[in-house]
Structure 1
Amino acid sequence: MSRIALSRAAIATTAVALSLGLTACSSGDGDQLGADAKQTLTVWAMGEEGKRVAEIAKKFNETHPDITVKVTPVGWDVAHQKLVSAAAADQLPDLAQLGSTWMGEFMDLGVLEPVDTKAFKADDFFPAAWKGSERDGQVYGVPWYVDTRVLYYRTDLAEKAGVAKAPETWTDQLALAEAFKKLDSTKWAFSHPAGGQGSWQNWAPYLFSAGGTILDKDGKPALDSPEAVTAFTEYAKYFDKGLAKDTPAAPGYDVIKDFGAGSVPMFPSGPWMVQNIADQAPQIEGKWAAVPLPAGKQPASIIGGSNLVTFESSEHKAAAKEFTKFLTSPATQADWYEMSKSLPANKKAWDEPALKNADVAVFEEALNSAGEIPPLAQWEQVAHEIDVTLEKLAKGGDPAALAEELQKKTEGLVS
């Protein structure tokens, strides 16, 4: 989806051109209403979440009968444009779901209300999820649900190749890929993105595992650091050794078919793959495993997901806070997991029966070691440059030279 970063001034001057015929949700000019006043709270939620929030809001009304929650479902494909247009026209809702990589852009626009850190505590959430909404001592979003990456591999084929133990280190993972390559059924030992949109998500854990960061302590890109070069070097080994395809996957490629057939026996991905494998490749039940991403210097993964944000223009901030408290409480987070299979951002929710009885421990471990994606307004441009760098790397580019080139490009993007 397109996530174009615009300055606040640019949005103000293009409000008419961007108008999508939205109806005003709140003007921000009146007095604030208390949470116990009769009122309507307007909420925008994206994708499948938008269809389900209204249902879970009924339980909220059991304890908050005077707050009518009006949910507008918004497709992810139009969500960014609709939010930018609403910001331009001063027609934002009271509360919205915001993708984690959009936080920096909307912080820069000045439309987000800071989070009350007395009501919401950093220690209740996974650290990287909380930090992804934090800037200059202020927090602008409360983590709602989270996403991460783990390693999926065919245990039966690993045993056939002579490997009985799950990979724990980069060395183990490379050795397993080399063992898979020797099997007659293998086409590519590892589904390892060679560039293409979103491939940065597979490289970032290598950076974090090497001890690196996206930005340095001064807020400048750190993509040519020794740790970044180490990450690029490790990532490149799979292409150099012929273990992974050195061109981007075709649009719409679904690894599960090849995983089920055994032609691609290992890949990194997110929690949704558990159900997808069960649905699309039932013949390999009991023949695969999901384990934490193997570690370099330290264990690491990435974190994504969505945050709940209240807009500065809202006249219903107290009600928005109450609804956010409800949605991020451990009990509701557990209910939400049962409804949507979205992983809770509140760590205490993982002690609820719905999570305790689910096979999700590997994702909790990954979330606890996840590195931080900084809230940059220019994140989509930075991510694109990493994707381009990975495509060049897969074609045999020198890791150090590519890291230096990436650093120069991103320094020009990040102010």
Structure 2
Amino acid sequence: MKNWLPKLNKKLMVGSLAGTLLLTGALTGCSSGSSSSGKTVINVWGMGEEAKSLPKIAEAFEKENPKIDVKVQAIPWETAHDKLLTAVAAKKGPDVVQMGTTWIPEFGSANALLDLKPYVKKYPELDPVNYYEGSVETTKYKDQTVGVPWYIDTRVLFYRTDLLKKAGFNEAPKTWEELSTAAKKLSERGDNKYGISLDTKEQSLGFMFARQNGAELLDSKGKPHFNDPKFVEAVDYLNSFFKNGSAPKDSGLDIVQGFRGDGILPMFISGPWMVKLINDQAPDLKGKWATAVLPKKENNLSSLGGSNLSVFKYTKQKDASLKFLSFMSKPETQLKWMNMTNSLPAAKKAWEDKSLKEDNFYTTFGEQMKESKPMPVIKQWEPIAQAYLSSFEKIYRGKTTAKKEMDAFNKKSEELLNK
């Protein structure tokens, strides 16, 4: 369930076709048209493990549309980007493609994705009003809408209710100050005990907390503000958990294992997939844990990720492809997908279903979605996020100060944005 990719290499898209000699193999099974039975064939590229469940959903679509055959190809995330590059260069690829939320600017700029706005009247399920504002933001490129939200994720607080109660807290922390106090108290239970796990490899964490502190990441002209006082204060706040021993720098613990038992790691911030993992791997924790919206400073904004579905610009089966997107966007379809893959639905109406409304774990995610935003939808965001992780490591390992390193990081970001 990834929402990032390396920066798109435009030279590969518009330069020599020497690198496309592998097209015959790379695009095997990707030609759409008519089958021997006379049916229209559309090819769908899905990414990662969840794509392996797509054929089951495709069967339901085929029953409703007996004149259309859907061929699904599951592609590993790590090879998907290069394969899409090849398809764009050749103007030959899938009809429908799964897009990580931060892929849109790159492939939108390559003019590889169909603008869906002209087709909303015919296929009302594609109308942006059906989705959370943050999700819709990830489907836009300039004045075009080149994708439709498929599934979403955001980050919330997971916590051990029993351990917090023993430490004197009857509910989840609601503010930055309460989070810091609770984490410190929990870390004082004994040796090798911590209060919270903060994933130092989570790209969005620092930016998310900076936004909660009222920091602006990029201004209206696209200029970075990663060294302004509010951003630096947020980085200092995160670093305080490492400095006072509330969070481990290198625990090496699997998060579920750290969460169970004595609760070496009794709080952490993560996405919806962790609900199923905890229920499956730690059934002994039933009734001892919960989820909560993130604690607040000026606000409690979380990051928004997930995946979109797009129609490949060069498809020869536009109507059938749009019909498939429309089917996948129906609330009932997205609820079936959630049951199959534990992916949260993007359609707002799906959240009215009792399977979500009556599940306290998922209700939290629905509430947090109201206060969630994607990272800036720009081509350069991935290298900027990677550069931040390197900078933050220097800070939490005590090699430099937040102010000094954020000055350097802001300068680096300006260079990346000007490339």
What's the TM-score once normalised by structure 2's chain length?
Answer: 0.89
2:357: which partner in 1? 356
2:379 to 367, 370, 377: 377
- What residue in structure 1 maps to residue 26 of structure 2? 22
**Which residue number in structure 2 is paired with residue 223 of structure 1?**
226
Q: Structure 1 pair 291/101, CA: closer, same or farther in 2 (3 Å)?
A: same
Q: Per-residue deviation at 1:76?
A: 1.9
User: Does the CA-based 8 Å contact 1:26-1:314 persist in structure 2?
Assistant: no
Compute the displacement of 1:384 (Å). Answer: 0.3
Match of 2:246 in 1: 243
Answer with 201-210 or 335-344: which moved more: 201-210
Contact 1:105/1:375 (<8 A) preserved: no
Aligned partner (choices 106, 111, 127) of residue 121 of structure 1: 127
Q: Is the 8 A contact 1:22 1:91 kept in 2?
A: no
TM-score by length of 1: 0.90
| In the alignment, structure 1 residue 146 sits paired with structure 2 residue 152 | yes
User: In the aligned structure 1, how far is the partner of 2:345 from the partner of 2:98?
Assistant: 14
Q: Deviations over 1:59-89 (max 9, x none)?
A: 2223322121111111223222222222223
Change (3 A) 1:307 1:152: same
SS in structure 1 of the partner of residue 72 of structure 2: strand
Distance in 1 separating the partners of 2:178 and 2:307: 33
Question: Aligned pair count?
Answer: 403
Q: Structure 1: how far apart are the matches of 2:356 and 2:323?
A: 24
Contact 2:212 2:296 in 1 (8 A): yes
Alpha carbons 2:184, 2:246 under 8 Å: kept: yes
Counterpart residue number, 1:4: 6
What's 1:285 paired with?
286
Cα deviation, 1:312-348, whole Å, max 9, x if unaligned, reads 1111122111111110111111111112111001111
Q: CA offset at residue 365 of structure 1?
A: 1.1
Q: Distance in 1 between matches of 2:390 and 2:138?
A: 24
Q: SS at 2:136's partner residue?
A: helix
Alignment of structure 1 residues 4-403 onto 2, 5 Å: 4-13=6-15, 15-17=17-19, 19=22, 21-23=25-27, 38-116=39-117, 118=120, 119=124, 120-184=126-190, 187-193=193-199, 195-196=200-201, 199-247=202-250, 250=252, 253-261=253-261, 262-359=263-360, 360-396=362-398, 397-403=400-406
- The Cα RMSD (Å) is 2.4
Aligned residue for 2:408?
A: 405
Any idea what the Cα deviations from partners look like across 1:231-251, whole Å, max 9, x if unmatched?
21221111222211235x65x
1:24, 1:8 → 2: CA distance? Answer: 24
Using the TM superposition, give the Cα deviation of residue 38 of structure 1 relative to its aligned residue in structure 2, in angstroms: 4.4
TM-aligned CA distance change 1:182 to 1:26, over 3 Å = closer
**Does structure 2 retain, via aligned residues, the 8 Å contact 1:25–1:94?**
no
Segments ≥4 residues shifted beyond 6 Å = 24-28
Distance 1:287 1:278 in 2: 11
- Aligned CA distance change for structure 1 residues 153 and 353 (closer, same or farther; 3 Å): closer
Kept in 2: contact 1:24–1:91 (CA 8 A): no
Any gaps of 5 or more consecutive residues in structure 2?
none
Q: Could you tell me the percent identity over the aligned residues?
A: 34
The letter for the 2-side match of 1:156 is D
Larger RCO (CA within 8 A; separation ≥ 6): 1
1:191–1:268: 8 Å Cα contact kept in structure 2?
yes
Mapped partners of 1:273, 1:210: distance in 2: 26
